[in-house]
Amino acid sequence: MSARYLIRPLALVLAVSLATTPVFAQAAQTTQKPQTTQKPYEPSVGQEGKDVVWVPTPQALVDKMLEIAKVTPNDFLMDLGSGDGRTVITAAKNGTRAMGIEYNPDMVELSKRNAQEAGVSDKTTFVKADLFETDFSKATVITMFLLPTINMKLRPALLNLKPGTRIVSNTFTMEDWEADETANVTDDCTSWCTALLWIVPAKVEGSWQMPQGDLKLTQQFQTISGSLGSTPIKEGKVRGYDVTFTAGNVKYAGRLDGNTIRGSLPGTNGSSWTATRR
Protein backbone atom coordinates (compact mmCIF):
# COMPACT_ATOMS: atom_id res chain seq x y z
CA MET A 1 0.00 0.00 0.00
CA SER A 2 1.36 3.39 -0.98
CA ALA A 3 2.14 6.10 1.56
CA ARG A 4 -0.62 8.39 0.32
CA TYR A 5 -3.23 5.87 1.38
CA LEU A 6 -1.78 5.82 4.91
CA ILE A 7 -1.67 9.58 5.46
CA ARG A 8 -5.44 10.19 5.31
CA PRO A 9 -6.43 7.46 7.79
CA LEU A 10 -3.67 8.60 10.17
CA ALA A 11 -4.80 12.20 9.92
CA LEU A 12 -8.37 11.09 10.62
CA VAL A 13 -7.27 9.19 13.76
CA LEU A 14 -5.32 12.20 15.02
CA ALA A 15 -8.27 14.50 14.41
CA VAL A 16 -10.63 12.22 16.28
CA SER A 17 -8.14 11.83 19.14
CA LEU A 18 -7.64 15.58 19.53
CA ALA A 19 -11.36 16.20 19.41
CA THR A 20 -12.24 13.64 22.05
CA THR A 21 -9.44 14.24 24.57
CA PRO A 22 -11.05 17.36 26.14
CA VAL A 23 -14.34 15.48 26.41
CA PHE A 24 -12.69 12.71 28.45
CA ALA A 25 -10.98 15.30 30.67
CA GLN A 26 -14.24 17.11 31.23
CA ALA A 27 -16.00 13.86 32.02
CA ALA A 28 -13.28 12.99 34.53
CA GLN A 29 -13.72 16.36 36.22
CA THR A 30 -17.49 16.07 36.44
CA THR A 31 -17.35 12.59 37.96
CA GLN A 32 -15.14 13.69 40.91
CA LYS A 33 -16.93 13.40 44.27
CA PRO A 34 -17.95 16.76 45.72
CA GLN A 35 -16.30 17.78 48.99
CA THR A 36 -18.53 17.28 52.03
CA THR A 37 -18.77 19.66 55.01
CA GLN A 38 -18.20 17.99 58.40
CA LYS A 39 -21.20 18.25 60.69
CA PRO A 40 -20.69 20.16 63.97
CA TYR A 41 -19.97 17.95 66.97
CA GLU A 42 -23.08 16.97 68.93
CA PRO A 43 -22.65 15.23 72.31
CA SER A 44 -24.98 12.46 73.40
CA VAL A 45 -26.25 11.98 76.93
CA GLY A 46 -24.42 9.09 78.58
CA GLN A 47 -21.36 9.24 76.36
CA GLU A 48 -18.15 7.99 77.94
CA GLY A 49 -15.64 10.43 79.38
CA LYS A 50 -12.31 10.03 81.14
CA ASP A 51 -13.72 9.39 84.61
CA VAL A 52 -17.47 9.88 84.16
CA VAL A 53 -20.22 9.74 81.58
CA TRP A 54 -21.69 13.03 80.36
CA VAL A 55 -25.11 13.98 81.69
CA PRO A 56 -26.00 17.68 81.45
CA THR A 57 -27.11 19.56 84.55
CA PRO A 58 -30.70 20.82 84.09
CA GLN A 59 -30.71 24.57 83.51
CA ALA A 60 -33.04 25.09 86.47
CA LEU A 61 -30.47 23.48 88.75
CA VAL A 62 -27.61 25.46 87.22
CA ASP A 63 -29.51 28.60 88.22
CA LYS A 64 -30.09 27.25 91.74
CA MET A 65 -26.43 26.25 92.18
CA LEU A 66 -25.30 29.77 91.32
CA GLU A 67 -28.01 31.22 93.55
CA ILE A 68 -27.11 29.34 96.73
CA ALA A 69 -23.40 30.07 96.16
CA LYS A 70 -24.33 33.77 95.92
CA VAL A 71 -22.21 34.20 92.80
CA THR A 72 -21.50 37.83 91.85
CA PRO A 73 -19.51 39.64 89.15
CA ASN A 74 -16.66 39.88 91.68
CA ASP A 75 -16.22 36.09 91.69
CA PHE A 76 -14.08 33.81 89.57
CA LEU A 77 -15.94 30.55 88.96
CA MET A 78 -14.41 27.26 87.85
CA ASP A 79 -16.65 24.44 86.61
CA LEU A 80 -15.07 20.99 86.91
CA GLY A 81 -16.10 18.73 84.05
CA SER A 82 -17.77 21.59 82.21
CA GLY A 83 -19.36 19.53 79.41
CA ASP A 84 -21.25 21.76 76.98
CA GLY A 85 -20.35 24.86 79.02
CA ARG A 86 -23.82 25.75 80.30
CA THR A 87 -22.79 26.52 83.89
CA VAL A 88 -19.86 28.67 82.80
CA ILE A 89 -22.02 30.48 80.23
CA THR A 90 -24.85 31.07 82.71
CA ALA A 91 -22.43 32.58 85.22
CA ALA A 92 -20.89 34.76 82.51
CA LYS A 93 -24.32 36.06 81.48
CA ASN A 94 -24.59 37.42 85.03
CA GLY A 95 -21.25 39.19 84.67
CA THR A 96 -19.01 36.60 86.36
CA ARG A 97 -15.65 35.56 84.93
CA ALA A 98 -15.77 31.78 84.56
CA MET A 99 -13.58 28.90 83.39
CA GLY A 100 -14.57 25.40 82.34
CA ILE A 101 -12.24 22.43 82.83
CA GLU A 102 -13.08 19.59 80.45
CA TYR A 103 -11.06 16.56 79.29
CA ASN A 104 -12.92 15.95 76.02
CA PRO A 105 -11.47 18.30 73.36
CA ASP A 106 -14.65 18.13 71.27
CA MET A 107 -16.65 19.35 74.26
CA VAL A 108 -14.16 22.17 74.78
CA GLU A 109 -14.65 23.39 71.22
CA LEU A 110 -18.43 22.99 71.52
CA SER A 111 -18.39 25.11 74.69
CA LYS A 112 -16.39 27.83 72.97
CA ARG A 113 -18.95 27.95 70.14
CA ASN A 114 -21.83 28.03 72.62
CA ALA A 115 -20.18 30.88 74.53
CA GLN A 116 -19.67 32.83 71.32
CA GLU A 117 -23.29 32.35 70.30
CA ALA A 118 -24.34 33.54 73.79
CA GLY A 119 -22.16 36.62 73.44
CA VAL A 120 -20.00 35.88 76.50
CA SER A 121 -16.69 34.81 74.97
CA ASP A 122 -14.98 37.74 76.69
CA LYS A 123 -15.86 36.40 80.15
CA THR A 124 -15.37 32.67 79.55
CA THR A 125 -12.42 30.32 79.14
CA PHE A 126 -12.56 26.62 78.36
CA VAL A 127 -9.52 24.43 78.91
CA LYS A 128 -8.82 20.86 77.95
CA ALA A 129 -7.28 19.52 81.17
CA ASP A 130 -7.26 16.74 83.76
CA LEU A 131 -9.13 17.66 86.95
CA PHE A 132 -6.43 16.09 89.10
CA GLU A 133 -3.71 18.20 87.49
CA THR A 134 -5.57 21.51 87.66
CA ASP A 135 -4.87 24.41 90.03
CA PHE A 136 -8.10 25.63 91.64
CA SER A 137 -6.48 28.16 93.96
CA LYS A 138 -7.70 31.28 92.12
CA ALA A 139 -11.35 30.23 92.14
CA THR A 140 -13.79 31.77 94.59
CA VAL A 141 -16.58 29.43 93.44
CA ILE A 142 -16.28 25.86 92.19
CA THR A 143 -19.17 24.00 90.56
CA MET A 144 -19.26 20.34 89.62
CA PHE A 145 -21.39 17.37 88.65
CA LEU A 146 -19.07 14.44 89.30
CA LEU A 147 -19.37 10.97 90.78
CA PRO A 148 -18.96 10.60 94.56
CA THR A 149 -15.66 8.77 94.08
CA ILE A 150 -14.29 11.71 92.09
CA ASN A 151 -15.58 14.17 94.70
CA MET A 152 -13.68 12.26 97.37
CA LYS A 153 -10.46 12.25 95.35
CA LEU A 154 -10.76 16.00 94.94
CA ARG A 155 -11.77 16.65 98.55
CA PRO A 156 -8.26 17.09 100.02
CA ALA A 157 -7.42 19.74 97.41
CA LEU A 158 -10.77 21.46 97.92
CA LEU A 159 -10.31 21.62 101.70
CA ASN A 160 -6.96 23.33 101.18
CA LEU A 161 -8.49 26.17 99.17
CA LYS A 162 -8.76 29.66 100.63
CA PRO A 163 -11.33 29.75 103.45
CA GLY A 164 -14.64 31.07 102.20
CA THR A 165 -14.36 29.42 98.78
CA ARG A 166 -17.82 28.12 97.82
CA ILE A 167 -18.19 24.66 96.35
CA VAL A 168 -21.45 23.55 94.77
CA SER A 169 -22.24 20.02 93.62
CA ASN A 170 -25.12 18.66 91.60
CA THR A 171 -26.62 15.85 93.73
CA PHE A 172 -23.45 14.06 94.87
CA THR A 173 -22.02 14.50 98.37
CA MET A 174 -18.60 14.67 100.03
CA GLU A 175 -19.52 11.80 102.37
CA ASP A 176 -18.80 12.82 106.00
CA TRP A 177 -18.04 16.42 105.03
CA GLU A 178 -21.65 17.50 105.36
CA ALA A 179 -22.99 20.28 103.16
CA ASP A 180 -23.55 23.70 104.71
CA GLU A 181 -26.71 24.09 102.65
CA THR A 182 -28.92 21.91 100.45
CA ALA A 183 -31.53 23.10 97.98
CA ASN A 184 -33.97 21.15 95.79
CA VAL A 185 -35.52 22.31 92.52
CA THR A 186 -39.03 21.14 91.70
CA ASP A 187 -39.94 23.37 88.75
CA ASP A 188 -38.57 22.47 85.29
CA CYS A 189 -36.47 19.66 86.74
CA THR A 190 -37.27 15.95 86.84
CA SER A 191 -33.87 14.39 87.64
CA TRP A 192 -30.58 15.58 89.14
CA CYS A 193 -32.39 18.36 90.95
CA THR A 194 -30.41 18.80 94.21
CA ALA A 195 -27.74 21.41 94.84
CA LEU A 196 -25.30 21.04 97.74
CA LEU A 197 -23.12 23.90 99.01
CA TRP A 198 -19.94 23.78 101.08
CA ILE A 199 -18.02 26.78 102.42
CA VAL A 200 -14.33 25.93 102.83
CA PRO A 201 -13.61 26.36 106.58
CA ALA A 202 -10.52 27.98 108.04
CA LYS A 203 -8.27 25.68 110.06
CA VAL A 204 -8.71 26.61 113.72
CA GLU A 205 -7.91 23.40 115.55
CA GLY A 206 -5.43 23.85 118.40
CA SER A 207 -4.87 25.90 121.53
CA TRP A 208 -5.78 29.57 121.87
CA GLN A 209 -5.28 32.07 124.65
CA MET A 210 -8.28 34.13 125.79
CA PRO A 211 -8.72 36.45 128.80
CA GLN A 212 -11.40 34.01 129.97
CA GLY A 213 -8.92 31.10 129.88
CA ASP A 214 -7.42 28.60 127.46
CA LEU A 215 -9.54 27.79 124.43
CA LYS A 216 -8.90 24.31 123.09
CA LEU A 217 -10.49 23.42 119.77
CA THR A 218 -10.90 20.16 117.90
CA GLN A 219 -12.11 20.48 114.31
CA GLN A 220 -13.98 18.13 112.00
CA PHE A 221 -14.46 20.04 108.75
CA GLN A 222 -16.75 23.00 109.64
CA THR A 223 -17.66 21.65 113.09
CA ILE A 224 -15.60 22.48 116.18
CA SER A 225 -15.71 21.17 119.75
CA GLY A 226 -13.51 21.59 122.79
CA SER A 227 -13.44 23.71 125.92
CA LEU A 228 -12.93 27.23 127.23
CA GLY A 229 -11.15 26.72 130.51
CA SER A 230 -13.13 23.97 132.18
CA THR A 231 -16.34 24.75 130.30
CA PRO A 232 -17.18 22.57 127.29
CA ILE A 233 -18.11 24.48 124.16
CA LYS A 234 -21.07 23.59 122.00
CA GLU A 235 -22.68 24.67 118.72
CA GLY A 236 -19.20 25.32 117.33
CA LYS A 237 -19.04 26.19 113.62
CA VAL A 238 -16.50 27.54 111.15
CA ARG A 239 -17.85 29.15 107.99
CA GLY A 240 -15.00 30.49 105.94
CA TYR A 241 -13.09 32.72 108.38
CA ASP A 242 -16.09 33.13 110.71
CA VAL A 243 -16.00 31.22 114.00
CA THR A 244 -18.95 30.78 116.37
CA PHE A 245 -19.42 28.73 119.53
CA THR A 246 -21.17 28.79 122.89
CA ALA A 247 -19.45 28.37 126.24
CA GLY A 248 -21.74 28.25 129.23
CA ASN A 249 -24.44 30.82 128.50
CA VAL A 250 -22.18 33.05 126.40
CA LYS A 251 -22.28 33.01 122.60
CA TYR A 252 -19.02 33.91 120.90
CA ALA A 253 -18.87 35.11 117.29
CA GLY A 254 -15.56 36.11 115.74
CA ARG A 255 -13.44 36.17 112.62
CA LEU A 256 -10.03 34.65 112.09
CA ASP A 257 -7.30 37.10 111.08
CA GLY A 258 -3.92 35.42 110.89
CA ASN A 259 -3.30 33.91 114.33
CA THR A 260 -6.02 35.89 116.09
CA ILE A 261 -9.78 35.50 116.31
CA ARG A 262 -11.53 38.80 117.02
CA GLY A 263 -15.20 39.18 117.70
CA SER A 264 -18.03 40.59 119.68
CA LEU A 265 -20.38 39.15 122.29
CA PRO A 266 -23.98 39.31 121.07
CA GLY A 267 -26.30 41.16 123.44
CA THR A 268 -23.50 42.91 125.35
CA ASN A 269 -23.59 46.34 123.66
CA GLY A 270 -20.43 45.75 121.64
CA SER A 271 -18.22 43.94 124.15
CA SER A 272 -15.33 42.36 122.25
CA TRP A 273 -13.20 39.26 122.70
CA THR A 274 -9.98 37.92 121.22
CA ALA A 275 -8.27 34.58 121.05
CA THR A 276 -4.62 34.24 120.10
CA ARG A 277 -3.16 31.00 118.77
CA ARG A 278 -0.53 29.50 121.02
Strands (E) in 103-140, as ranges, are: 124-128
The pLDDT score that the predictor gives to residue 192 is 94
Sheet holding 76-80, edge to edge: 124-128, 97-102, 76-80, 141-144, 166-170, 194-199, 181-184
Tens digits of pLDDT across the chain (278 residues): 443 333 344 444 434 444 444 433 344 444 555 565 667 777 766 556 656 677 899 999 999 999 999 999 999 999 999 999 999 999 999 999 999 999 999 999 999 999 999 999 999 999 999 999 999 999 999 999 999 999 999 999 999 999 999 999 999 999 999 999 999 999 989 999 999 999 999 999 999 999 989 999 999 999 999 999 999 999 999 999 999 999 999 999 999 999 999 998 876 676 899 999 99
The pLDDT score that the predictor gives to residue 264 is 85
The pLDDT score that the predictor gives to residue 6 is 37
